[in-house]
Amino acid sequence: MAGVYYRLSREMALRGWDGLPWAIVHRPDNGVRFLKEEEFKALELCGGLVDCSGARIPEQVRRLIGQMADEGVVERCAYGEGMEQDQYYRRYPNRFIYAACWSVAGRCGGCRGQCPAASKEEQCGQLSHEQVMDMIERMDECGVLSVWITGGEPLTRPDWWEIVDALADRRIDISCIRTNGMEVDLPLLMGLEARGMRPEFRIGYNGDQGWHDRFCGVPGAGRRVLEAFRACRERRFKTTAEMALHRGSVGVLRQSVKTLAASGCTGLKVRNATQEELRGRYSGDSFLPLEEMYEIYEWYIPQYFMDGSPLRLELDGAFMCGRGSRDFIIPVEGREGADICLCRPVCGCAPMLVEEPDACRTNRNPHRRLLFGDGWAERIRAAAAVG
C-alpha cells in the first residue's frame, strides 16, 4: 500500500507509570526516556498501519516522527509490519521503580560461617524457589526494569539459572551481582552473555599477602577472587572490588590496589571493616576509628597518583577519582546539605548513622568536623599534589 509507514524500532518498548505515563524503554540495558504527551501520541501512530505522510497528519506530528526516526526510536516499515507483543504500551499501576536491590540468598558460600552474611539464613531464612519466582512475577507487574542481585552468596543457589532465565523472559536486566567471587568463572560469564546479560560484578577483596584468606577464613580465597577478575576481563565484564580495611591490612593497601588493577579490576571502593566483621578473627585493636581512616586515606592518596591512578577509586565516599586520571572529586564538597548527606550510609561506605536529624546541623557530627572544620579538602589537594 502506498504511503510512508513507521513502526517502533525493535529494541524499543512503550511503557508508563503513575505520574510518568509516557516513556520508551531501550533494550537490552533498559534505559528509560520519558516523553512529553505530544511525543508519545506521535509514537502511537507508528504501528505500521497509519500513513504518516498523509494530509490528515499535522505538520508538527510529522516533524516529531521524523526527529524520532533520526534518533532511531522509530523505523520505516511496510504497511502492516507491526510491533512485537512486548513493544506495545504497558501501563503499571504504581509509581516508577527502576531497580530493585534483591538479596536472593541467606547462605554465604565459602566463608565457613565467619562472614556476617552467613548469619542471615538463621535470622531471615533462605527464600524458597517458589518465593523467588513469585518475587520476579511481582517485580514484572510493577515495571521493575533492573535488579542488583546480592546475598549471602547468590551464585550458590541451585536454581540460579532458573532465576536468570525468569528475569530474562520478563526483560528485567541484571545490572549488578555482588558476590564473594568464588563461583565466578568463564562458564558463568558465557551463560550470562548467552542470555543477553552483562552485569557488573562487585567482589570483595580484602588485601594481598593472605589478608583476604584470613578475613574469609578460606585458604586460597584471594587467589580465586583474582582469577574471577581475570575471567571478567577476558569476557569484558565490568568489575568493582570492595575492600574492608583494618589495622592489619593497611600496610598492603598500595600493593593490593596494584594487584587488583593488574588482574583486570577496574574500580575499588574502600571502607573500614566493622567491629562485627572483625570480632573473633583479629585482636581487639584491629578496628580503625574514623579519624584514623581519614589519616590513612591522606597517606595513601599521593601513592595512588604516583602509581598512575591504576583503577577507579572511592574512599569511603570522601574521595573519588577515575582510572588513569588526576582529576578527583570530594563528593560532598560545596553541596547544600553536605553535612546531612555524610551521616547517611551509602552502599555501606558511610560508617555511621546519626539518629537525630538535628545532630546533622551541629558540630557534634564527626564527619562534618573532619571534612570541613579540619580542612579535609585542602589537605587532600595537598596530598594529591605530592603524588
340-363: per-residue pLDDT in tens? 444 443 343 333 333 333 333 333
Q: What percentage of the chain carries pLDDT values higher than 70?
A: 82
Q: Are 184 and 232 in contact (CB under 8 A)?
A: yes
**pLDDT tens for residues 90-141?**
999 999 999 999 999 876 765 544 454 454 444 556 889 999 999 999 999 9
In this prediction, residue 334 carries a pLDDT of 55
One-letter identity of residue 346: V
In this prediction, residue 82 carries a pLDDT of 86
One-letter identity of residue 292: E
- Other C-beta atoms closer than 10 Å to the C-beta of 244 total 20
In this prediction, residue 236 carries a pLDDT of 97
Length of the chain: 387
Q: What distance lies between CA 385 and its chain's CA centroid?
A: 31
pTM of the entire predicted model = 0.85
State the average pLDDT over residues 199-205: 96
Confidence band for 8, pLDDT divided at 50, 70 and 90: very high
Confidence band for 283, pLDDT divided at 50, 70 and 90: low
The mean predicted confidence, pLDDT, of the chain is 85
